[in-house]
Chain A
Amino acid sequence: MSPLTGQILNLFASVLLLIAFAMLAQRRIVTLINLFAIQGLALVGSTVTVAWATGQRHLYYSAGITLVLKVVILPFILHRLIRRLNVKWDIETLINIPTMMLVGIVLVVFAFNLALPISQFSQSIARGTLGIALACVLMSFLMMITRSKAVPQVIGFLAMENGLFFAATSATYGMPMVVELGIALDVLVGMIILGVFMFQIREQFDSLDIHHLEKLKED
């Protein structure tokens, strides 16, 4: 592996991490969707780099699927969804943003610490980036927890999948093709179902604020 490839990979990884932080801090939904699309693009870039450096054919296909699905289709669906739901503005978070950034930093440290023993055993050229992938997963999870509206939660869910995908690429050159296809389909179907849910929630409560779901609790 040439040092240049390594540098490029690290660049994409840091872009991913940066976007994860940006999503954590972002208040507007439209920007959130754009950030998600850019994160997908960074993912495509890193996957193609790994594929080019190692000659793994199937990684090109994965990159293609990611490009189509996460950069084009999903953001398109999301944009249309918020137009139809008319929820462009937003978003009060449950915890204020500086605190969340601090928690995010703790998570990154934790993830790097965690990934250290694993990346020592890995043969992959991208093993150094495993920590970043884990950090992306954890931070997307954190975003899901701290947002009170349904759409940002869905974006958090999708971003988490991005992190997982990146972890798979960096640790073991990606999952088998069949699994990747399956996951891609899952994400798409999950998106559609969540969209339906969001319409239903709004029908029911005249709002997408999931606080209303607390009424469903059994006392």
Chain B
Amino acid sequence: MGPLPELLAIDGIMIVVAAWFAIGLVGIAALHDFRLVGRVLFPLSAVLSIAISGLALYALPGAPQTAVLAIGLPDLPFHLRLDALSAFFLALLGLASAGISVFAGGYFRQGEGTPPGLLCLHYHLFLAAMAMVMLADDAYAFMVTWEVMALSSYFLVTTNHRIAEIRRAGFLYILVAHVGAIAILLCFGVLQANTGDYTFANMRAQSLSPFWASCAFLLALFGFGAKAGLLPLHVWLPEAHPAAPSPVSALMSGVMLKTAIYGLVRVNFDLLGSPLWWWGVVALVVGLATALFGVVFAAAQVDMKRLLAYSSIENIGLIVVGLGLAIVFAAYRMHSLAALALVASLYHCVNHALFKSLLFLGTGSVLHATQERNLGKLGGLMRYMPWVAWTSLVGVIASAGLPPSNGFVSEWLLLQGFLFTGELPNPYLRMLVPVFAAGVVLVAALAGYVMVKFFGVIFLGRPREEKLASAHDAGGLERLGLLWLTAGCVLLGLFPVAVIEVIDPITYALVGRGLAQSGRAGDWLLLAPVSAERASYSPLLFLVVIATVVLLAFVLVRRFYHGRVRRAAPWDCGFPMQTARMQDTAEGFGQPIRQIFEPFYLMKRELPSPFDAAPRYKVTVEDPLWGWVYLRIAAVTEALSRWVGMLQRGRISIYLLYSFLTLVTLLLFTQA
């Protein structure tokens, strides 16, 4: 035996992946043992998550590492490669899943359909598959792991498989996932340019004609868009997220959607070579439409998990807008601006991974404590569930994009990128892009509105139902998971310069420039994406100012207002008494938005007549795209199948005649 080979970071990551797999198998062995699965296996898996993000961050600045894994078909091994981009997304996976796994350890208590051991297997297969997707360096490995990811997450979504609605949601999910996977497979087929070699290294070496390159781009946008939830392939998201248990929703929304973004970045910036400018415009249009659609629908939701699902659609839209901007800049060889837009996108990826996981976990705790997902029956939970409420508050601030949170940093960077579009050589683009910028600002503002609704209706005010008073706060492991993600949100918000230095090697590898040189402006405190004279932002200063102002206001209020309490009968609006149900509801809060954006919705309203003894008000908001796109596709498919079905006559003679006629026709054809 020779000397032991040096262990690289990629080997370490594969060991972690194998360990996840092993944990899943242990889960199978202990199928019904809640204590083992919850208290031991899931926390253990969280430790592995931290290990994988540590390894990835350690390997990120270094040179790409490759490995060949001889599994799968003979003569067709898995090629793996760990470069800056995959390391970044692996770090994202590790950071988010660490919190989620710890939380899951405390969350899965009583049986939720699937036995806990099996759930543990699906969960860890899902994690392992996502890690392998990011490591894959050939189309074969990518597709295999991509499908494992889709299947394992399907089983996770249908954990409560006894409920018909959940089975339906799972089917919709797996259907869209497969349609997307076909597009991705075709995209790889175009990328390998008839060489028959499906390694990514070969795809990088090929230079495609503009037509085929555009085909590859559009296929990638469709395929990965199906996974990410881009319009009009978003339909599975608002169904699957509420159906899945909360840690699974968190993992899917926080991490799995990012694998699609990873795929888009990998194909567009790494495999495809130099982009065309109109690809960027397509991505901008699709991204903005998705973001706007997502946020407008989020504002109208009354189910808290559906609301978050639509909010995920919105965030994915923003990320794709950033990618589109980066493509436009890269097409005109404005590399440092492309780097800026790409950094904004990647930064938003990791932000969204953290705050959306946090919010989904928060809804999970609320759901366990109250058995209620309907916003109309919640309220005032801050008093009973302080841990969940305060951590969710951080997530809500981040999601709304308020400074000094991490959400603000990425949205600010994105808008900074838009400010430089005046330098684009194409006059139409110069005119068009400010419109997109305005759209992004609108989305950001509406996102704030949605988050106020989410937090306000669940946690503030008074409980709308009596049973809410007995709600219990999250348990120990759940608190740990929530705290981990909260800490991540806060740190990413306060130290953006450090994050940008981490992202720097990626933009160097993909567009040839980085931000860290100019971004630091000689100061670790001050973030200035292009130059300190143009724009700069210091989250710590912001935090200090905000904290000071809040403290000052608090002191002043106590000093001047309190102590002058005057008790008097309130003006009771003609009501003899006021109840908690008279508070502003989720429907009421969303009503102005429903009015303004009415053409977006497919709304059904049942208003009671003035003489109704037992008045009922009911409003349902549905997705018009379902009817416009999906039902039509279904109708066309059905008609076609009916035509094809006419071939089936049930008589062997007729079937034989078909073969006979085919044979004769083919013979005639070859003769001619």
Contacts and interface: CB of A to CB of B under 8 A. Distances in A.
A138 B664 contact: yes
B652 A114 contact: no
Nearest to B651: A214
B671 A144 contact: no
A147 B660 CA distance: 14
Nearest to A150: B652
A213 B651 contact: yes
Please tell me the size bucket of the interface on A.
Answer: 20 to 34
A110 B653 contact: no
A144 to B, nearest CB: 5
A210 B671 contact: no
Contact of B652 (A110, A142, A213, A218): A213
Nearest to B653: A145
Given A141-B660, A141-B663, A144-B656, A217 B649 contact: yes
Please tell me the size bucket of the interface on B.
Answer: 10 to 19
Given A113-B671, A142-B660, A210 B652 contact: yes
B664 A110 contact: yes
A114 B653 contact: no
A59 to B, nearest CB: 26
Nearest to A214: B650
A211 B660 CA distance: 19
A130 to B, nearest CB: 13
Given A110-B664, A138-B664, A211 B656 contact: no
* Centre residue among B652, B659, B660 by max chain A CB count within 10 A: B652
Nearest to A134: B667
B648 interface: yes
B660 A114 contact: no
Contact of A145 (B649, B657, B671): B657
Contacts of A218: 648
Interface in A126-162: 138, 141-142, 144-148, 153
Interface in A93-133: 94, 110, 113-114, 117
A31 to B, nearest CB: 22
Interface string B621-655: 00000000000000000000000000011111100
A217 to B, nearest CB: 3
Given A113-B671, A138-B664, A142-B660, A148 B650 contact: no
A216 interface: yes
Main SS class of interface, A: helix
Given A114-B667, A145-B660, A216 B653 contact: no
A114 to B, nearest CB: 6
A217 B667 CA distance: 31
Nearest to B667: A114
A146 B657 CA distance: 9
A212 to B, nearest CB: 10
A216 to B, nearest CB: 6
B454 to A, nearest CB: 48
Contacts of A145: 653, 656-657, 660
B572 to A, nearest CB: 67
Contacts of A213: 650-652
A145 B671 CA distance: 24
Nearest to B659: A141
B655 to A, nearest CB: 9
A216 B664 CA distance: 28
A94 B651 CA distance: 12
* Centre residue among B648, B649, B651, B653 by max chain A CB count within 10 A: B653
A52 to B, nearest CB: 32
B671 A146 contact: no
A144 B655 CA distance: 11
Contacts of A216: 650
Contacts of A210: 651-653
Contacts of A142: 660
A94 B657 CA distance: 12
Interface in A173-219: 210-211, 213-218
Contacts of B667: 110, 114
A208 to B, nearest CB: 12
B671 A117 contact: yes
A141 B656 contact: yes
B57 to A, nearest CB: 57
Nearest to B671: A114
A216 B649 CA distance: 10
15 contacts: A113-B671, A114-B671, A138-B664, A141-B659, A141-B663, A142-B660, A145-B653, A145-B656, A145-B657, A146-B653, A210-B651, A210-B653, A211-B651, A214-B649, A214-B650
Given A110-B664, A215-B650, 10 more contacts: A113-B671, A114-B671, A117-B671, A141-B659, A144-B656, A145-B656, A145-B660, A147-B653, A210-B653, A216-B650
7 closest Cβ contacts across the A-B interface?
Answer: A217-B650, A214-B650, A145-B656, A141-B660, A210-B652, A145-B657, A145-B653
